Structure 1
């Protein structure tokens, strides 16, 4: 009960409640608290400690404080920097807060001291209440942790109710709110009720915590027990050399090994891995890795094969049915199949189909698989730059998997499928390995019978696999790979071939794909040819199939919306379905001009025409090249310049002309990279035309490479180039004489309508390319700037021609310096009006 009133410094505690008899050390951080400590030290070291209701209040009011606190005596006070003080106090009696005031530097509290809590308990009930408290403490003792265990033991030794009730809140680790509720109690009965409630709640919380701990421990013990038992079982099985549980995963794997079509060596290695898997602890990471590995190797076909269809006529029927044209390709494939049928196995040939996109390379491979009755799997190598994609990863790596070849075998489920290596010219290499080098072991028949995948780690026989590769450009295939393959060229389609392909294959395919019947859509022959010529300009037939698909889709909509029974597409209404023509006539020079020559080039998507333009300007003899030329084409330009300078005086060009002029060579479409060894004669002709001012025929195109001496070298891709010339409406083409056998192999469909002229040296090219009136200009028409050296050279050349003719005992008309002189006269050759070459004299 209240005894006396007095005013002393006050400290408001946050998250802390102290009880009589407790010793505590805490920090004071607010100015008011530090000031209260200073005032208490000056006034007798006594301070009033009361808890805040709101822990976050900085300068609390009286309503923010509890009504009861304790009077504490300061034992130690230490002030630190940053207005921080640490104090150690011993708590005395309880006091009730009557009023508080702000003294500026600190809070002061008017308190009434309470020496004792009112004892309202009957004497006869105290033993029973003590027994109840002790029983509750014993219950707490069962579930309490180690930190509380010894404290409860000491409390159970107390035999007086008042002492036990006083010690409980100070000795047990209760929170500040629980202690404050004890402090606020006015009588012993209230204290008893509060403490009993807190003890029951603490006991229940410890009991729940103990139950969860037991469950967790039980689970841990169970796993530990299983681990120990498995280890013991493994030791027992190892000693006995037998098994007692036939239903385990290892037993299932052993059954699969017995059913596996593989050599004894392979089976024995797999069984060793199964034994190792069996003795591993369940749930470990290594167990899961080994399980995945065993499942992979057990799914491989190993020596399981299919029987080939050895009927060559059946293979011919399949190829003829699936593809139109491509006679050379079909013959070459049938030859390879014939050898394979006779020998029973492959003869080491890896077929590589090289050609532009959309020409049927992939579908040819699929047809070969169907003809032989083999499983067909396709591996796309475009953009593959990691060697592990071919050889696989080590199985110890995280996320390891076998290479693409092993995955393809697992997909095929036989060891002798037809495996298509698509886009082999687009493999690359970087810091992760050389993909092309990894493919060497695959495509080398001397090595692939023991191919080792890093994941499988056992030799895999690939010698029974029939490999077929495809590529768009032979030049980008790594040379070691190219050396191991048999190249079959799949050239561009002619317009007639495209017509038959569209009629027999593409239209039925698109009708079925778009849900149309044959009677619902008809595309006339003239309309189909117009689609080929004016809407698709490509080497293959992919865009042609897309345009047919466009017509089918519009037809399907038209049938549903307008209830039309039949749609007929003709040449006249074609724009209704496909819009305006997308491919106008090929851009080419239409007028004879100087410095502009039409060349023919081969690309990975077919043949194209190139307009090579040359212009001259006053300068210092520089050669300017524009139009995204590659290194090979730049070399051709420099060779052409050297040859032109060597013969310039023969065409009335002064010797010092090149020192006073710059030459600019440009190929239009500058954003498109261009390269290749077939533009030499075109550049030389255009350069000589620009330098001499003589016009070149606009209705003529040419292809060929040139040497420093003016010899014309053979080129490749002749079929595509001739098709490009026909598409550009050019009817005269200059071709290297060494390519004459290639021209003779071409079908008449390609060469019909073309005048193919063979050239051996640049003088033949110039004679045929320059306009007739330009090629025959005489020295009389030369400008006054022609040097004297050029005149002397012309005279000497004419005299030499005459002397050669006399020695050959052929009558030759002597050439005067005033007569017309051309390249053919200089070489001792002339051409008749009919184009027939004669030597020594001109036919009249």
Structure 2
């Protein structure tokens, strides 16, 4: 470079473009200042200075926005295009430094110091030029983007600087890299830069080639697989097998998309689907995976039915389906009322406890109907394997989810009424304890993430309304019972059975047997006789069977033209049903010594028991007969001990136990009897026999006794009162603590009975024995 006078030249800033000396290039110019600079150049000596912008996006570049080293160029041709831009042909002449930047309103000019270059090459530069040409040739062979003619023209260049510039213009370099080469004045350094760039580009091209080959192989493999699959589909179509595994995968993919699963479950489903796709159809695991995916898409994850929160409609439905059962209905209506107010409530877990046939299962169905929810029932009777509840592990063919998930699939919604029937009949053995597995299901705080061994993903059971049924609450494990709200259904009274038979059972059987009320009429007294003498139960199953028998007999009579209309009365019932099958206790016709009437609770409701005491000379032996349980034997011993301690007050010989043998008997000796409520009855019968005082025939009694003579409360007062009413008793002696239970007794029964609350045996004797004051 030599010292020169500065030249003032119009400036043309370039965007995304750089021109080397000796390069000939077409440019499109559209900016106002650039056009003015061109016009000024054409007027003067056709020379213009080309400098590249640092940023392409700058529309009005200033001094700081352009590089300080550029190229002096000659404008060889200028053509105005229809769109208003000017196309010019420029030829690069030589490098130049911008020393001063002059910005006019209509154009920009620069004062430039031009740089002269040597044309002759030194020996070292000649060697470098050969090396560059060799490298450039190898680059052309690998890239195949530059023609051999270009290489031929480049190889004829003898000036080292020009060679470096021309090769640089043909390489795919960024503007920054090209600018660095333009700013490199020393020829040796410029050629060295080109050598480095060529070496690097050759490595990059080699890697690109390898990657390209790998991609090509992969694409060929994919295309081959696609082709084979299409061939397989065509073959299956020709053979009539329109499904095949491909059809399965398409179908399962569509099902997964429609299942609205939680994100984690959907991810698991797609993962298993990919495994299924890769696995041979003949593989045993293939069927296990397919079965798993089928279960995932069939279980309801988000589908929810809308509750009909109309408390009056629900009350009507419950009354339509069931007579009585006021406490249960009240509980369901309370749930509905809270649901209506809050719009959100975790499903309660109700346990309907009571004897068979009282309508526990059908009541759960009515609850579902009143809420307009789906209903599903699962029987737990005899279930002894934990896998029945939690499902089997997916490790073998034939594995499946537990009954809870199966029930949810059957229900088809996430908020059904789910009946767990006979929860007290579960057992446990070496396969696990199913009642413990139910703890998570029936815990409102845990069942929102119920874990099934087969599904493996948490399932939300919190919206399910669980209803369980049981005959014997004592058989349910305490932790399980603690999670449920127990509602006792004690059984139906005679009055309730009468209403159920007239309003529900008989109309149903008439319809099922093709009869009408005009063809068969059953009088009330006939129904009452059926209830008393042909059934003995707490529920109404046997009563329904007897109604069905009456309908069958009547149907035969009508079809055989024996009668056109059948009327059944208490006189003709035996013709239909045969001789009575049962009897029930009746009040004694006169006062008896040593015999007291006790009231008992049975699974069939209530009954009366006459407890008899016989005293004979002997050595003080106490005999108990009548197939009594341990509790009743203990009650007899307690009564006996109390009488011995109070013998003087009761006017009984203190040595009676040494001189007499005492025999206590409860009739119907083949029927097992047990319970704590016969204490005062045994004590009264003993005292009656020992004092020779008669027991009032119209009095029935129930209550437990302590050694101090206190009367303790009992259960089943409603049923016992019904049996007393049926037997013709008029007075009932009961524990004072049971006064709260009187409101449960039907008005028709309570009005005919006199209830005598007592807290001590002295009060019992006062009301029970004749002659007491």
Say whether the 8 Å CA contact 2:593–2:692 is kept in structure 1. yes
Distance (Å, rounded) in 1 between the aligned partners of 2:746 and 2:679: 27
SS of match in other structure, 1:650: coil
List aligned pairs for 1:204-283, cutoff 5 A. Answer: 247-283=246-282
Say whether the 8 Å CA contact 1:648–1:688 is kept in structure 2. no
**Greater Cα shift, 241-250 or 278-287:** 241-250
Distance (Å, rounded) in 1 between the aligned partners of 2:289 and 2:425: 35
Q: In the alignment, what sits opposite 1:313?
A: 312
Distance (Å, rounded) in 2 between the aligned partners of 1:686 and 1:720: 23
Distance (Å, rounded) in 2 between the aligned partners of 1:666 and 1:394: 59
Q: In the alignment, what sits opposite 2:371?
A: 372
SS of match in other structure, 1:743: helix
List aligned pairs for 1:463-502, cutoff 5 A. Answer: 463-502=462-501
Q: In the alignment, what sits opposite 1:636?
A: 635
**How far has the Cα of 1:524 moved from its partner?**
2.9
**How far has the Cα of 1:549 moved from its partner?**
0.9
Say whether the 8 Å CA contact 1:613–1:665 is kept in structure 2. yes
SS of match in other structure, 1:247: helix
Q: CA RMSD in A?
A: 3.1
**How far has the Cα of 1:318 moved from its partner?**
0.7
Q: In the alignment, what sits opposite 1:529?
A: 528
Q: In the alignment, what sits opposite 2:381?
A: 382
* Structure 1 residues 682 and 374: alpha-carbon distance in aligned structure 2, compared to 1, 3 A threshold: same
TM-score (norm. length: structure 1): 0.60
1:608 corresponds to 2:603: no
Q: In the alignment, what sits opposite 1:42?
A: none
Q: In the alignment, what sits opposite 2:646?
A: 647
* Structure 1 residues 242 and 500: alpha-carbon distance in aligned structure 2, compared to 1, 3 A threshold: farther
Say whether the 8 Å CA contact 1:451–1:461 is kept in structure 2. yes
Q: In the alignment, what sits opposite 1:112?
A: none
**How far has the Cα of 1:420 moved from its partner?**
1.4
SS of match in other structure, 2:592: coil
Q: In the alignment, what sits opposite 2:715?
A: 716
**How far has the Cα of 1:583 moved from its partner?**
3.4
List aligned pairs for 1:535-614, cutoff 5 A. Answer: 535-562=534-561, 564-586=563-585, 589-614=588-613
Q: In the alignment, what sits opposite 2:695?
A: 696
Map Cα deviations across residues 575-611 of structure 1 (whole Å, 9 max, x no partner).
2222233334426655533443222222333222233
Q: In the alignment, what sits opposite 1:416?
A: 415
Say whether the 8 Å CA contact 1:704–1:713 is kept in structure 2. yes
Map Cα deviations across residues 787-821 of structure 1 (whole Å, 9 max, x no partner).
xxxxxxxxxxxxxxxxxxxxxxxxxxxxxxxxxxx
**How far has the Cα of 1:417 moved from its partner?**
0.8
* Structure 1 residues 403 and 629: alpha-carbon distance in aligned structure 2, compared to 1, 3 A threshold: farther
Structure 2 unaligned spans of 5+ = 1-217, 231-244
* Structure 1 residues 475 and 517: alpha-carbon distance in aligned structure 2, compared to 1, 3 A threshold: same
Distance (Å, rounded) in 1 between the aligned partners of 2:685 and 2:275: 76
Distance (Å, rounded) in 2 between the aligned partners of 1:412 and 1:418: 9
1:658 corresponds to 2:642: no
**How far has the Cα of 1:410 moved from its partner?**
1.5
**Greater Cα shift, 735-744 or 469-478:** 469-478
SS of match in other structure, 1:757: strand
Aligned pair count? 542
* Structure 1 residues 587 and 243: alpha-carbon distance in aligned structure 2, compared to 1, 3 A threshold: farther
* Structure 1 residues 730 and 512: alpha-carbon distance in aligned structure 2, compared to 1, 3 A threshold: same
* Structure 1 residues 407 and 577: alpha-carbon distance in aligned structure 2, compared to 1, 3 A threshold: same
Distance (Å, rounded) in 2 between the aligned partners of 1:737 and 1:717: 14
* Structure 1 residues 350 and 242: alpha-carbon distance in aligned structure 2, compared to 1, 3 A threshold: farther
TM-score (norm. length: structure 2): 0.65
Distance (Å, rounded) in 2 between the aligned partners of 1:255 and 1:620: 90
Distance (Å, rounded) in 2 between the aligned partners of 1:467 and 1:420: 6
Q: In the alignment, what sits opposite 2:747?
A: 748
Say whether the 8 Å CA contact 2:614–2:663 is kept in structure 1. yes
Distance (Å, rounded) in 2 between the aligned partners of 1:262 and 1:243: 33
* Structure 1 residues 404 and 675: alpha-carbon distance in aligned structure 2, compared to 1, 3 A threshold: farther
Say whether the 8 Å CA contact 1:379–1:408 is kept in structure 2. yes
**How far has the Cα of 1:762 moved from its partner?**
1.2
Q: In the alignment, what sits opposite 2:764?
A: 765
Say whether the 8 Å CA contact 1:616–1:664 is kept in structure 2. yes
Say whether the 8 Å CA contact 1:346–1:466 is kept in structure 2. no
Map Cα deviations across residues 625-684 of structure 1 (whole Å, 9 max, x no partner).
444444433433333333222212322333333345554444333443333332222233
Say whether the 8 Å CA contact 2:616–2:661 is kept in structure 1. yes
Q: In the alignment, what sits opposite 1:783?
A: none
SS of match in other structure, 1:764: helix
Say whether the 8 Å CA contact 1:589–1:611 is kept in structure 2. no
Structure 1 unaligned spans of 5+ = 1-232, 776-830, 832-844
Map Cα deviations across residues 140-195 of structure 1 (whole Å, 9 max, x no partner).
xxxxxxxxxxxxxxxxxxxxxxxxxxxxxxxxxxxxxxxxxxxxxxxxxxxxxxxx
Say whether the 8 Å CA contact 1:420–1:469 is kept in structure 2. yes
**How far has the Cα of 1:350 moved from its partner?**
1.6
**How far has the Cα of 1:563 moved from its partner?**
6.4
SS of match in other structure, 2:530: helix
**How far has the Cα of 1:243 moved from its partner?**
12
Distance (Å, rounded) in 1 between the aligned partners of 2:248 and 2:261: 21
Say whether the 8 Å CA contact 2:677–2:714 is kept in structure 1. yes
Q: In the alignment, what sits opposite 1:357?
A: 356
SS of match in other structure, 1:758: strand
* Structure 1 residues 428 and 663: alpha-carbon distance in aligned structure 2, compared to 1, 3 A threshold: farther
SS of match in other structure, 2:539: coil
Q: In the alignment, what sits opposite 1:394?
A: 393
